[in-house]
């Protein structure tokens, strides 16, 4: 922008309407939304957010994350097993750093209350997360090293449900029809809640486990796209 080069904004229009959550992503995407020459919104809700802020030249194309999941699912035969008791857990967000000790204690309580579940946490390398790993005492709560993207998708596919404060993981989970307990106060991806796969729980994880354990209704496609977002973006840019 400062060099007079046009900006195309992919994944445009995501909003929590809270500049502190997530920080600094919310401020960055609001600013970029005003600077972009063309905006590629992943959902109708994201498109409406842009329209309300006066942004023009918007195209709803879905999210390229769904493209990546579908490509990897086919190439690496990533498929969910039947009747898994694994629960994938990821916690890393900056806005949760001050309460990470409380969240880890809550996870420990979940593991103790539900001994049949296997909680698996690929721990983030950030010291603000790492310093609390000693708080886990339950035998069915495993802390492992971070994993690559393909292995992460395999873990999503093989989980009964997911506990996370990640944004992207909400989208990926929807591709496998997995429920998500969102360890945040707000989400810029309300579509996962609308289709019955997500629930905002803040720090109240234990109180929402029963909801997560109930098998969700099968959704035909992810609310975040059909796996052809990149093709649509390229076609629009070529025009």
Residue 79 confidence class, pLDDT cut points 50, 70, 90: confident
Residue 232 confidence class, pLDDT cut points 50, 70, 90: very high
- Residue that the structure tokens 């796969």 belong to: 197
What domains, with CATH codes, occur in the chain? 8-60 (no CATH), 86-213 (3.40.50.2000)
Is residue 220 over pLDDT 90? no
Average pLDDT over every residue of 90-113: 96
- pLDDT score recorded for residue 131: 93
Average pLDDT over every residue of 61-79: 93
Percent of the chain whose predicted confidence (pLDDT) is above 90 = 90
Is residue 211 over pLDDT 90? yes
Average pLDDT over every residue of 68-78: 92
Residue 219 confidence class, pLDDT cut points 50, 70, 90: confident
Tabulate helix, strand, coil % of the chain (nearest 5): 40, 15, 45
Is residue 228 over pLDDT 80? yes
- pLDDT score recorded for residue 218: 82
Six-digit token pair at 103?
Answer: 């969240």
Is residue 104 over pLDDT 90? yes
Q: Which among 93, 89, 150 has a CA at the least distance from the CA of 120?
A: 89
pTM of structure: 0.94
- pLDDT score recorded for residue 77: 83
pLDDT tens for 14-25 read: 999 999 999 999
- Residue that the structure tokens 């994350």 belong to: 65
Task: Count Cβ atoms within 10 A of the Cβ of residue 79 and give its class: 0-12 exposed, 13-18 middle, 19 or more buried.
Answer: exposed
Is residue 82 over pLDDT 80? no
Backbone angles phi, psi at 59, to 5 degrees: -130, 125
Mean residue pLDDT across the chain: 95
How far is it, in rounded angstroms, from Cα 178 to Cα 192?
Answer: 10
Is residue 56 over pLDDT 80? yes
Average pLDDT over every residue of 146-165: 96
Using alpha carbons only, give the angle 190, 196, 199 rounded to the nearest 5 degrees.
Answer: 60
Average pLDDT over every residue of 82-96: 92
- pLDDT score recorded for residue 201: 98
């Amino acid at each position: 922008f400062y060099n007079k080069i046009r900006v195309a904004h992919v994944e445009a229009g995501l909003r929590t309407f809270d500049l502190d959550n997530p920080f600094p992503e919310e401020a960055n995407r609001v600013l970029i939304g005003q600077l972009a020459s063309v905006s590629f919104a992943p959902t109708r809700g994201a498109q409406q957010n842009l329209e309300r802020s006066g942004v023009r030249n918007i195209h709803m194309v879905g999210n390229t994350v769904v493209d990546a999941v579908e490509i990897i699912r086919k190439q690496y035969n990533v498929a969910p097993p039947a009747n898994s008791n694994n629960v994938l857990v990821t916690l890393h967000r900056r806005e949760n750093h001050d309460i990470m000790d409380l969240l880890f204690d809550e996870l420990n309580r979940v593991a103790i209350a539900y001994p049949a579940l296997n909680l698996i946490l690929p721990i983030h390398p950030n010291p603000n997360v790492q310093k609390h790993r000693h708080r886990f005492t339950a035998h069915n709560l495993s802390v492992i090293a971070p994993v690559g993207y393909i292995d992460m998708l395999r873990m999503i596919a093989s989980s009964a449900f997911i506990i996370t404060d990640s944004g992207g993981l909400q989208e990926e989970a929807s591709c496998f029809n997995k429920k998500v307990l969102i360890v945040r106060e707000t989400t810029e991806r309300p579509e996962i809640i609308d289709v019955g796969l997500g629930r905002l729980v803040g720090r109240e994880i234990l109180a929402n486990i029963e909801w997560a354990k109930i098998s969700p209704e099968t959704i035909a496609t992810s609310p975040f796209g059909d796996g052809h977002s990149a093709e649509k973006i390229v076609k629009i840019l070529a025009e």
